[in-house]
Structure 1
């Protein structure tokens, strides 16, 4: 699992505090931030996020519903890599929350009795970035 994948999954599963994730994201170069957002978009699709997950994701993220990433998400536009640089942290926070909502549902429905998804087996001993 790549460094960014580990961090994203730890954040989505509540294994890392949001503040750690935001600090990590802020420390990345802008191009890397956009790559992380692209990966997050893909993870949300893979976790089968739906439009119905959006209100909870916005609430969990703490991003104001009037900010561009939240408005985009309410219109079911996941692709946020083209946002201005000042909106990237908001998009990151929002997409992590969306992944958390969708992945929790998926884990409850399809992985409750065990699965082979490596990202569902992150333990406290695994140290990320």
Structure 2
């Protein structure tokens, strides 16, 4: 088994410096930017590595992988909405549409609300004998 590097507890001065740099990053408004390479964020990353909170100090570079996945997801939802609209036009219910499209009833209802598609519900009750 490989030896695990034990993190040493930071001194009071190191903790104060870390909090000061963290406050500077928050004041700059970079709290949700993972790929920021400004001086403030870079200094915070180096301080975190020094204290043992991170294994590397370089900020990851942004990749288009997540943007591509988001575009594919949106495209798939649009295709599903078109299929769902055509099946709803035939008078099918949520569960029947979900069964034909191999999707869940919750997903179908969420898409119906988002794309404003009217899906009729089957009437329940006694059938007339006439």
TM-score (norm: length of structure 2): 0.24
With a CA cutoff of 8 Å and minimum separation of 6, indicate the structure with the bigger relative contact order: 1
TM-score (norm: length of structure 1): 0.24
Question: Computing the radius of gyration over CA atoms, which structure comes out larger, 1 or 2?
Answer: 2
